[in-house]
Amino acid sequence: MCEARVPITEIFGSNVFSDAVMRERLPKNIYKSFKKVLDGVADLTPAVADVLANAMKDWAIEKGATHYCHWFQPMTGLTAEKHDSFISPTAEGRTLMEFSGKVLIQGEPDASSFPSGGLRVTFEARGYTAWDCTSPVFIKEDGKNIALYIPSAFCSYTGEALDKKTPMLRSMDALNKQAMRVLKALGNTSARRVMGTLGPEQEYFLIDRRFYEKRLDLVLAGRTLFGAPSPRGQEMDDHYFGTLHERIASFMNEVNTELWKLGVSAKTQHNEVSPAQYELAPVFATVNVATDHNQLTMETLRKVAIRHGFVCLLHEKPFAGVNGSGKHNNWSLVTDTGTNLLDPGLTPHDNMVFLVFLCAVVRAVDKYAKLLRASVANAGNEHRLGANEAPPAIVSIFLGDQLTDIFGQLADGGAKSSRQGGELQLGISTLPPLPKDCTDRNRTSPFAFTGNKFEFRMVGSTQSTSGPTFVLNTIVADVLCEIADKLEKSGDVNATTQEVLKKIATEHARIIFNGDNYCSDWVVEAKKRGLPNLVSTVEALNTIMDAENVALFGRHKVLSETELEARTDILLEAYSMTVNIEAKTMLSIAKRQILPAATRYSGRLGDIIGSVSATGVSADTQKKMLEELSALITDLSAGIENLEAAVAKSGAIEDCAGQAAAFRNILVGPMEKVREAADRLELIVDADIWPLPTYAEMLFIK
């Protein structure tokens, strides 16, 4: 029998200092003043902040919290927190519980150990955190520790962004400003604000912890650096959307409960394509809140997995030969009056606002395709993008039949009709006809229109959603700015809009591709169309500092040139460090586990050959086995030497781009060779001696 459960409606948001909590706990005038701050029409005054802080403290203490922290997102892509307790000792040896508005608004962590890309030298340690009051404060329970979390931005003493949140917030301002200009020019008088919305679908793997612990590569690098393919992979297509295994279902249930408490609206869960791969999707939210929530989601997946005897692997490609993990960033634009600006409605051809925003996205994505590509470039995603499962490294847009048709009409001078979906007759008398969408899906496109939003599918599963999202916000703001400039000056807005749309539809037709993006023909076709194909991470990162990008971020005050340069260096350094760690981990496993196991097995075979021969029976087969084994041992040993030399040669180059390129060019080849020999050994060495859990075990045993 099912035990009685607390209703979700009671669990949801129970650890969030939400609107409902504020309404209940704040004096009316303070509540109203703070709402104005949230709407962006008033500044937060010290008086309001003090009352807010006090109410937060009381609420948090009632919930058992002893500490508070500014929770921020440094350039590591993870989150950071330093806890302070509420206690404030008195002269009589007692203590008060204190939390002031000042402390709520601003923190000052010693920031010297976070990556700053040269923005700050170590002795200039000061950094500031500033409360992002548009993302709700919440309580997090970690074991026995309960603390109040204050979502914050993080900057240097000189005010430069050192985190992932600051540019996100700045890009939201830019987007709002330019989108409002366009809306106004098109005659909209009701909207006061435009926001980006984001619903990131998160893919991940779960494997049993006992296997994980025996794999130093998973522990240190997050992905398997060795492993022969499992005799069975994903070819049966039986995992995707399959029945949830009971242990997995229990895990998901607990993840959901934890997330719901934090106000994260975990909504959809299912098995993914690869065995042991799963997905979780939330209901979308404003981009900054969605990004905070995605960070909490990744953390919760990891944490709850441990409780269930699993380890959650968020790496983009934990296992070779089966699908990797991405994060599908569903993105759209909404007004404060609730209109989704990318909702085509029933007759998109005469929905002017929709067409303008759609075309703005199309132009932005084509114009800044390299920047978008760079925004998803990391070491993990290199194994995914361009391999024939994930989206390719070429950015293109899927619009679907209906919109592609309209886009064509716009290029010809104006859209006059919209194709309709009609009905689907299943030929079964007991089932009603189903309304059919006007467009099929395309799962291979890196940037697909999916009904009333775009889905950016290149994002890596470990990545913060901030980077790709603030890039998207900014490039779209930039094109909206161009359009607004024209419309505001125009004497005939209608005619000017038609001209703008015609120009975009003509100039940017090349970025629209509805076919199979995994197919090799597309690579050839894309080249003909002049679309960039930045295959490697280093190549992609090296385009960030292109003059047009520096100008773009400067124009919209999202990142200064110095900030952009610092970020690029951090990303290149992260790439270098990752590859270097992988190479060193590989050497350690190869030398201390695989080579010894293989030689032990060769010794055993040698003994067997001796004892079998002594009986007078032929040991020819055993000899053949030993010969094959010895040859591979020689290969592996040579590979190790080669990789060691490469590691020595590639280290210690001063500039970030040079270093990253060296690691890519010098280490990756030798690493592949070591893996090749080791994986072949795995196929012939006695399973009892083989030191690492196999792909089959990790992917199939629960």
Residue 297, helix vs strand vs coil:
helix
User: Considering the complex, what minimum distance in angstroms separates the CB of residue 357 from ligand ADP?
Assistant: 12
**Which of 398, 384, 406, 401 is CA-nearest to residue 324?**
384
Report what 198 binds from ligand ADP, Mg ion, none; CB cut-off 5-8 Å by kind.
Answer: ligand ADP
Nearer to Mg ion, 57 or 328 (CB): 328
Nearer to ligand ADP, 233 or 344 (CB): 344
Would you tell me how many other CB atoms lie within 10 Å of the CB of residue 551?
A: 12
The footprint of Mg ion on this chain (CB under 5 A) covers a number of residues equal to 1
Residue 367, helix vs strand vs coil:
helix
Site string for Mg ion, 370-389 (x = CB under 5 A): --------------------
Report what 22 binds from ligand ADP, Mg ion, none; CB cut-off 5-8 Å by kind.
Answer: none
Nearer to ligand ADP, 266 or 322 (CB): 266
User: Considering the complex, what minimum distance in angstroms separates the CB of residue 438 from ligand ADP?
Assistant: 14
**Residue spans of alpha helices (H) in 368-510:** 369-374, 400-411, 466-489, 493-507
Residue 450 to residue 193: CA distance in whole angstroms: 24
487, 188 in Cβ contact below 8 A? no
Residue 154, helix vs strand vs coil:
strand
Nearer to Mg ion, 328 or 349 (CB): 328
Residue 557 to residue 172: CA distance in whole angstroms: 11
Residue 272, helix vs strand vs coil:
coil
Please, what's the largest Cα pairwise distance for the chain? 104
Report what 260 binds from Mg ion, ligand ADP, none; CB cut-off 5-8 Å by kind.
Answer: none
User: Considering the complex, what minimum distance in angstroms separates the CB of residue 201 from Mg ion?
Assistant: 5
- Phi, psi for 327 (deg, rounded to 5): -135, 115
Residue with tokens 């700015």: 481
Contacts of 227 (CB under 8 A, 6+ apart): 319, 320, 679, 682, 692, 694, 695
Contacts of 5 (CB under 8 A, 6+ apart): none
Report what 277 binds from Mg ion, ligand ADP, none; CB cut-off 5-8 Å by kind.
Answer: none
Nearer to ligand ADP, 147 or 372 (CB): 372
User: Considering the complex, what minimum distance in angstroms separates the CB of residue 453 from ligand ADP?
Assistant: 4
Report what 199 binds from Mg ion, ligand ADP, none; CB cut-off 5-8 Å by kind.
Answer: ligand ADP
Report what 670 binds from Mg ion, ligand ADP, none; CB cut-off 5-8 Å by kind.
Answer: none
**Which of 164, 168, 166 is CA-nearest to residue 115?**
164
Nearer to Mg ion, 135 or 450 (CB): 450
User: Considering the complex, what minimum distance in angstroms separates the CB of residue 208 from Mg ion?
Assistant: 28
Nearer to ligand ADP, 366 or 455 (CB): 455
Cα dist from 444 to 183, 191, 388, 517, 651, whole Å: 33, 35, 10, 5, 37
Bridge partners for 398 per DSSP: 448
Nearer to Mg ion, 472 or 632 (CB): 472
Report what 472 binds from ligand ADP, Mg ion, none; CB cut-off 5-8 Å by kind.
Answer: none
DSSP secondary structure of 28-47? HHHHHHHHHHHTTSSPPPHH
User: Considering the complex, what minimum distance in angstroms separates the CB of residue 331 from ligand ADP?
Assistant: 6
User: Considering the complex, what minimum distance in angstroms separates the CB of residue 398 from ligand ADP?
Assistant: 12
Question: Which of the residues 320 through 339 are near Mg ion (CB under 5 A)?
Answer: 328
User: Considering the complex, what minimum distance in angstroms separates the CB of residue 448 from ligand ADP?
Assistant: 9
Report what 563 binds from ligand ADP, Mg ion, none; CB cut-off 5-8 Å by kind.
Answer: none
Residue of minimal Cβ distance to Mg ion: 328
197, 285 in Cβ contact below 8 A? yes
- Phi, psi for 501 (deg, rounded to 5): -65, -40
Residue 99 to residue 85: CA distance in whole angstroms: 9
User: Considering the complex, what minimum distance in angstroms separates the CB of residue 456 from Mg ion?
Assistant: 11
What number of helices (H) and strands (E) belong to the chain?
24, 19
Amino acid at 228: A
The distance from CA 657 to its chain's CA centroid, rounded to whole angstroms, is 23
State whether the Cα torsion 450-456-457-462 is positive or negative.
negative
Structure tokens belonging to residue 162: 């050192």
- Phi, psi for 110 (deg, rounded to 5): -70, 120
Cα dist from 405 to 51, 517, 559, 590, 598, whole Å: 56, 20, 37, 56, 61
Terminus-to-terminus CA distance in the chain, angstroms?
25
Residue 100 to residue 538: CA distance in whole angstroms: 46
Site string for Mg ion, 273-312 (x = CB under 5 A): ----------------------------------------
User: Considering the complex, what minimum distance in angstroms separates the CB of residue 264 from Mg ion?
Assistant: 18
Report what 152 binds from Mg ion, ligand ADP, none; CB cut-off 5-8 Å by kind.
Answer: none
Nearer to Mg ion, 68 or 331 (CB): 331
Residue 592 to residue 96: CA distance in whole angstroms: 56
Nearer to ligand ADP, 440 or 672 (CB): 440
Nearer to ligand ADP, 196 or 693 (CB): 196
Nearer to ligand ADP, 168 or 571 (CB): 168
User: Considering the complex, what minimum distance in angstroms separates the CB of residue 74 from ligand ADP?
Assistant: 26
Report what 494 binds from Mg ion, ligand ADP, none; CB cut-off 5-8 Å by kind.
Answer: none
User: Considering the complex, what minimum distance in angstroms separates the CB of residue 452 from ligand ADP?
Assistant: 6
Interface positions with ligand ADP (CB under 6 A): 197-199, 201, 268, 281-284, 330-332, 340, 450, 452-453
Report what 332 binds from ligand ADP, Mg ion, none; CB cut-off 5-8 Å by kind.
Answer: ligand ADP
Would you tell me how many other CB atoms lie within 10 Å of the CB of residue 689?
A: 12
Residue of minimal Cβ distance to ligand ADP: 199
User: DSSP class of residue 350?
Assistant: G
Nearer to ligand ADP, 403 or 587 (CB): 403
Residue 580 to residue 646: CA distance in whole angstroms: 10
Nearer to Mg ion, 129 or 329 (CB): 329
User: Considering the complex, what minimum distance in angstroms separates the CB of residue 588 from ligand ADP?
Assistant: 40
User: Considering the complex, what minimum distance in angstroms separates the CB of residue 285 from ligand ADP?
Assistant: 8
Structure tokens belonging to residue 380: 């993990």
Residue 470, helix vs strand vs coil:
helix
Report what 378 binds from ligand ADP, Mg ion, none; CB cut-off 5-8 Å by kind.
Answer: none
Residues in the site for Mg ion, rule: CB under 5 A?
Answer: 328
